[in-house]
Amino acid sequence: MKKRHTRSVRRNQRDHGTRTVLDAANATFVAVICFGLLVGISTQVQNVRPQAPWEVDPYDAVASFAMMLVPIVAVLTWVRCVRWRHEAVYPSFALVEIIRGCVVSLVAIAATDAAYQVAVLHRGFPRPAPLRPELLGSLGLSVVTLVVASVMSMTAGTSQRRAQRNEVAPSDEPDAVDDVAELLRTAPPQLAQLHGLCVRIADLLVAWAGSSASPRRHPWLFVATVSCAAGVAAAASEFFHEGLPPSVGVGILVVALFGAIVVISALLAYSLVGRYLHLVRSPRRA
């Protein structure tokens, strides 16, 4: 059995292609954080939201869709970056998947930043708006980090495409389930209890992925089920912050509405980027 590395490789020990891709990923993570702060503060803080010109649809709808997509893609991209941290040279398919995750995150952020800028130009800030400088600064920071990450990702993607012309397509390589399981198996062996727990979870995850109920066999059903649960949780959060509905019927209607919106959004997102990000592979290879 091949011995598993236990130490991360330093940046200067990696090859140029791997460094370029990881640098682009790190820049994307910074852009994601700035984007999350912008959207989170301007839409979730009660005394800030009324001062933002993008608090209404369609601007808010663009941000809501992006906020459902970007965190998931960013976490998956981070998993794929960290999974191979013990290797000086990342596999070519892993680099491709990391770049694709960066691209999807940055496109969603760009759409939101563009919508917010249109809102500023079209609606302007309400009066009074004492937090106008802070909101504009947050938007500007998001745009700047987006541009930097986009340039770095395009550079990394171009160099990677040149090296990938004769490589195997990512569809024949490990999927997101494999990435998560392998990351769990690389938990620090010095922490024996944590390492053992992570290994057991990884084994259960792989076993579940190979079963008849896995997302590899029923990806659309899996996405619909998880997103429906997320919609119910979103409705519960709304009840917690805004208070209970006036009647049971209204409550059921609100839950159904939240669930339908989240399910439709999740299915749309999966149809657009599911195969591109190689979330699940064919059950023939499971």
Average pLDDT, the chain: 88
Tell me what pLDDT residue 2 has: 47
Q: Residues 235, 164: one domain?
A: no
One domain, residues 133 and 253: no
Q: Flag whether 6 is in a domain.
A: no
Alpha helices in the chain (DSSP H): 16-44, 59-83, 92-122, 132-163, 176-185, 192-209, 219-242, 248-273
Q: Are residues 204 and 157 part of one domain?
A: no
- Give the span between the Cα atoms of 18 and 21, in whole angstroms: 5
Q: Are residues 119 and 188 in the same domain?
A: no
2 in a structural domain: no
Residues 17 and 157 in one domain: yes
CA distance 192 to 145: 39
Same domain membership, residue 250 and residue 202? no
pLDDT tens figures, 166-217:
555 544 578 999 999 999 999 888 888 999 999 999 999 999 988 888 898 9
Same domain, 220 and 253: yes
> What's the domain range around 22?
11-171
In a domain, 28, yes or no: yes
| Same domain, residue pair 125 and 229 | no
Surface-to-core class of residue 57, CB atoms within 10 Å of its CB (0-12 exposed, 13-18 middle, 19+ buried): exposed
Q: Give the pLDDT score at 1.
A: 43
Residues 15 and 149 occupy one common structural domain? yes
In a domain, 4, yes or no: no
Which of 143, 171, 199 represents a domain boundary (last residue)? 171
* 231: helix, strand or coil: helix
3, part of any domain: no
Considering the domain architecture, whether residues 166 and 217 belong to the same structural domain is answered as no
Q: How many domains does the chain divide into?
A: 3
| Sign of the dihedral through C-alpha 173, 188, 71, 201 | positive
Extract the residue ranges of the chain whose pLDDT is less than 50.
1-2, 170-171, 285-286
Kindly state whether residues 24 and 129 are assigned to the same domain. Answer: yes
Residue 185 domain-assigned?
Answer: yes
On whether residue 1 sits in a domain, the answer given is: no
Out of 155, 189, 209, a domain closes at 209
Burial of 63 (0-12, 13-18, 19+ CB in 10 A): buried
- What integer pLDDT is reported at residue 284 of this predicted model? 56
Distance CA 69, CA 72 (A): 6
Quick one: pLDDT at residue 191? 86
Instruction: Confirm whether 249 is domain-assigned.
Output: yes
Clarify whether residues 113 and 70 are in a common domain. yes
Which of these, 125, 132, 107, 95, lies nearest to 17 by C-alpha position? Answer: 95
